Structure 1
Amino acid sequence: MDPSCNFSSYRSTLKAAVWRSAAATDDSQRIVIPFFSLLVKDLYFLNEGCSNKLPNGHINFEKFWQLAKQVTEFITWKQVHCPFPKAPKVITYLQATAVLNEDGENLFSLY
């Protein structure tokens, strides 16, 4: 994933996937899997980077509108039924694999 221009390539691909998902009639075409850490980063910077109130003391509805829009979009993606069968081996692997801390990640990145 190319981080240049604030992940513009990813963002345009995600936008196309959302558009395709909205028009899809088949469940398998409605699935959208966002890059979760970028979604969290966007929410964090939107929340921290914009004040809750405008200089005139009024509530910054644009900020809250954008936050609600992103959270609603994520909830919509989460509620889509996945028609693919679960793979028990994959689920077991994901649940049993140790999560590394930063030191562990650095160590493994050397190999």
Structure 2
Amino acid sequence: MSGLKRIPLELIFWITALVLLATADLQNHGEAQHFTLCPIANLGMTWCPGCGIGRSITQLFHGNFAESFAQHWFGLPALLIICRRIGVLMKMIWINNKLLNLKYKEKRYV
């Protein structure tokens, strides 16, 4: 259980978000009513600079690159940025575990 405490909440959040986007049903904008946290969409405005990034990433996971770009041009860069952040967080965990193991070995032999 102590190993789980060392996993950053941010890492769990990003991995969960990508898994949910990868397993989401493909929907085009306007096809179905859906819940949104976007305050601009909730005000009834039809255009928002951030709306469509989630659908764009879902399209990328399903291999539909043209449709992904049509949903939102920033989908691919956003996915790359999120994957990079996951890599940085995992590297941080790996380094911390390596340091903890080194300290444990030093204590053990002293």
TM bucket, shorter chain: 0.3 to 0.5
Output the TM-score relative to the length of structure 1: 0.34
Q: Which has the larger radius of gyration?
A: 2
Output the TM-score relative to the length of structure 2: 0.34
